[in-house]
């Protein structure tokens, strides 16, 4: 019986569940469709990365004698949508059934469920077993909990996988070494030089196509050098383990102007599209620890990002959808300002982060959370607009990972489903963990008045305007005690300056 196996652009794994029992006569369908590139105006580099990775993956499995029906974006017959391309492929191949692996996004799953009603053959939707924790297991763990805490989930995942475990106890006696991972970057410390992956003919053709079709989207295609094949992805993983992992833990929260990657792995896009498997990444990192090549704080912090945070966030997304997208417990309504797209701002921390994401479609997690995200939280930007921005600009962003991070972690828009408090901060944290403030128009040490960093006045404005919603949070007791003791005139001046700053933000919506 011939089977048509539909593989999506973030499912580039040879051992994908929909491919595991492939037989002679079966056909793998892959297609580049305008609907997916345009449903939000994705970063040009993100589109180019995925199209190139898809084309290379198709070539890879063809070399294993698999028949691939690949529809390029510029195919004259391309209808531009998953559904219509699948219908055309069913007509071409007349399969006995269609097999797919569940997608990463709710809207695409709804689309797949509709295929069962609209196609002339059966459609089987298989679980995505590339993730370590399936939906049922996560839901069982979460059942009955009003609040979900990643740390407890992470410990269960450590036990389940046996990563960094010595028997039934965590390696070196602790579950979490985050306390050792918050060092600012000393001037004498330099980041290792990264590999540069040559653009081949396939990628060159994709870059040309994307430049022509999506040149008005955010971002740049210049100096494209990211891995797009399985071989390159494995090479990048080996490089990270040897050159960057040993110092990753200590300096993972640090930021330096002109050094966007530092010791970060930069592997998230490769894992999320399937070129790397999360298990192999964790196992190789653990090997580095067991062999004495990397310290426990680095390896534990890295593995926690994958089996703790990544798996946890995915579980939250599927458990809470579809209503989760509209969460807005802090009633944030302000429009996202234009400089999120142009990068034209006097706030150097934001300016540097926006410059880097425009050039590379990447920021590391502290830039996303404590610079850009913190600013969004303090200003009260509309969660839906912030969600879209994060989904647009990052090459590792898919709704399942982007939405919970924005709604729950960055904006506290779900009211604390899994974040124990809002991650609101003044300029102190950014000043401590970066060199951004030294080249900024504003002073982090000036709290109000001329030259005051906007993060300082925005912080106390946020705390004050959300007092009724947040004062009962035990992790904010000291903050609200400080607010209650604050000189009334000083607070009034701070809030006045915050409002003036907010009123000065330009949001035309033209981007």
Task: Decide: 383 and 411 in contact? Cβ < 8 Å.
Answer: yes
Distance CA 138, CA 12 (A): 24
Whether the per-residue pLDDT at 318 is higher than 80: the answer is yes
The crossing angle, in degrees rounded to 10, of helices 454-465 and 477-485 is 100
Strand, helix or coil for residue 339:
helix
Q: What are the structural domain ranges in the chain?
A: 3-126, 135-191+229-320, 339-503
CA distance 55 to 72: 9
Residues ≥6 apart with Cβ < 8 Å to 17? 101, 126, 127, 128, 129, 130
CATH number corresponding to 339-503: 1.10.579.10
pLDDT tens sequence across 435-466: 999 999 999 999 999 999 999 999 999 999 99
Model confidence over 205-214: pLDDT tens digits?
999 999 999 9
Would the CATH topology of 3-126 be identical to that of 135-191+229-320? no
In the predicted model, is pLDDT for residue 81 greater than 70?
yes
Among the residue ranges 44-48, 77-81, 186-190, 359-363, the one predicted with the least confidence is: 186-190
pLDDT value at position 1?
A: 60
Q: Beta strand 165-166 with 169-170: parallel, antiparallel or unpaired?
A: antiparallel
Q: Where are the extended beta strands (E) located within 57-162?
A: 67-71, 97-101, 123-126
Q: What is the mean pLDDT of residues 387-396?
A: 98
Among 296-300, 357-361, 468-472, which is the least confidently predicted range? 468-472
CATH code assigned to 3-126: 3.40.50.620
Q: Which residue has the higher pLDDT, 11 or 179?
A: 11
The values of phi and psi at residue 452, to 5°, are -65, 135
Give the residue carrying structure tokens 């794994």: 13
The closest of 360, 415, 428, 477 to 184, measured between CA atoms, is 428
166 close to 160: Cβ distance less than 8 angstroms: no
Instruction: Kindly tell me if the per-residue pLDDT of 511 is higher than 80.
Output: no
Q: In what order do the strands lie in the sheet with 67-71?
A: 67-71, 27-31, 3-6, 97-101, 123-126
Report the C-alpha gap between 352 and 358 in whole angstroms: 10
CA-nearest of 230, 229, 231, 213 to 221 is: 213
Position 180 scores a pLDDT of 86
Cα–Cα distance for residue pair 402/265, rounded to 1 Å: 18
DSSP 8-state class, residue 452: B
Task: Encode 233-271 in three state secondary structure.
Answer: HHHHHHHHHHHHHHHHCCCCCCECCCCCCCCCCCCHHHH
| Percentage of the chain modeled with pLDDT above 70 | 100
Query: For position 510, what pLDDT does the model report?
Result: 76
Phi, psi (rounded to 5 degrees) for 360: -125, -5
CATH topology (fold) of 135-191+229-320: 1.25.40
CB atoms within 10 A of CB 389: 23
User: Tokens 């056909």 appear where?
Assistant: 27
Instruction: Write the pLDDT tens digit of every residue in 331-345.
Output: 999 999 999 999 999
**Residues contacting residue 44 through CB under 8 Å, at least 6 positions apart:** 210, 211, 214, 215, 217, 218, 219, 220, 221
pLDDT digits (tens, 9 = 90+) for 215-256: 999 999 999 999 999 999 999 999 999 999 999 999 999 999
Q: Please check whether residue 283 is in contact with residue 241, taking contact to mean a CB–CB distance below 8 angstroms.
A: no
- pTM to 2 decimal places: 0.96
Token pair, residue 166, equals 């010595």
Collapsed DSSP state (helix, strand, coil) of residue 69 = strand
How would residue 509 be classed by pLDDT, with cut points 50, 70 and 90?
Answer: confident
Phi-psi label, residue 173: left if phi above 0, alpha if psi -120 to 50, beta otherwise: left
User: CB of 44 within 8 A of CB of 4?
Assistant: no
| DSSP type of residue 420 | S
pLDDT band at 134 (very low <50, low <70, confident <90, very high): very high
3-state secondary structure of 5: strand
* Non-local CB neighbours of 29 within 8 Å, separated by 6+ positions: 4, 5, 6, 7, 68, 69, 71, 85, 86, 89
Nearest 10 degrees: Cα torsion 70, 71, 74, 80: -150
Q: Where are the beta strands (DSSP E) in 277-435?
A: none
- How far apart CA 465 and CA 424 sit, in angstroms, is 13
């Amino acid at each position: 019986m011939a089977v048509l196996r539909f593989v999506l652009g973030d499912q580039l794994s040879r051992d994908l569940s929909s491919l595991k029992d492939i037989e002679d006569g079966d056909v793998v369908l892959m297609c580049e469709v305008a609907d997916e590139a345009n449903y939000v105006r994705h970063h040009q580099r993100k589109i180019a990365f995925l199209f190139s990775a898809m084309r290379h993956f198709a070539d890879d499995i063809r070399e294993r004698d698999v028949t691939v029906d690949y529809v390029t974006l510029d195919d004259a017959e391309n209808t531009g949508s998953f559904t219509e391309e699948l219908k055309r492929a069913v007509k071409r191949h007349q399969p006995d059934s269609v097999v797919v692996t569940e997608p990463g996004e709710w809207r695409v799953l709804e689309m797949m469920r509709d295929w069962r009603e609209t196609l002339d053959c059966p459609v089987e939707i298989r679980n995505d077993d590339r993730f370590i924790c399936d939906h049922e297991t996560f839901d069982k763990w979460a059942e009955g909990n009003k609040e979900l805490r990643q740390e407890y989930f992470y410990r269960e995942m450590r036990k389940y996988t046996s990563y960094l475990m010595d028997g039934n106890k965590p390696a070196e006696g602790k579950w979490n070494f985050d306390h050792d991972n918050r060092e600012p970057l000393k001037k004498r410390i330099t980041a290792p030089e990264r590999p540069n992956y040559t653009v081949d003919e396939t990628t060159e053709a994709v870059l040309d196509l994307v430049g022509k079709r999506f040149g008005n989207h955010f971002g740049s295609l210049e100096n494209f050098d990211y891995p797009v094949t399985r071989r390159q992805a494995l090479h990048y993983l080996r490089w990270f383990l040897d050159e960057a992992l040993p110092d990753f833990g200590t300096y993972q929260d640090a930021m330096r102007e002109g050094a966007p990657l530092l010791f970060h792995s930069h592997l998230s896009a490769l894992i999320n599209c399937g070129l790397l498997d999360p298990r192999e990444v964790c196992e190789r990192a653990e090997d580095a620890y067991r062999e004495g090549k990397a310290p426990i704080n680095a390896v534990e912090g890295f593995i926690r990002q994958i089996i703790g945070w990544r798996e946890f966030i995915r579980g939250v997304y599927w458990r809470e959808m579809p209503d989760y997208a509209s969460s807005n417990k802090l009633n944030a309504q302000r429009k996202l300002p234009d400089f999120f797209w142009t990068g034209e701002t006097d706030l150097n921390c934001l300016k540097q982060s926006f410059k880097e994401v425009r050039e590379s479609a990447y920021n590391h997690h502290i830039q996303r959370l404590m610079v850009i995200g913190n600013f969004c939280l303090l200003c009260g930007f509309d969660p839906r607009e912030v969600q879209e921005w994060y989904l647009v600009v990052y090459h590792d962003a898919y709704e399942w990972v982007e939405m919970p991070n924005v709604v729950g972690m960055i904006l506290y828009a779900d009211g604390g489903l899994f974040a124990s408090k809002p991650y609101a901060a003044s300029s102190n944290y950014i000043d401590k963990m970066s060199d951004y403030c030294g080249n900024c128009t504003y002073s982090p040490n000036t709290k109000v008045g001329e030259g005051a960093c906007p993060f300082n006045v925005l912080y106390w404005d946020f705390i004050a305007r959300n007092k009724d919603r947040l004062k009962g949070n035990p992790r904010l007791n000291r903050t609200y005690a400080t607010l209650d003791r604050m000189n009334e005139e000083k607070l009034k001046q701070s809030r006045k300056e915050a409002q003036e700053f907010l009123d000065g933000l330009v949001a035309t919506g033209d981007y």
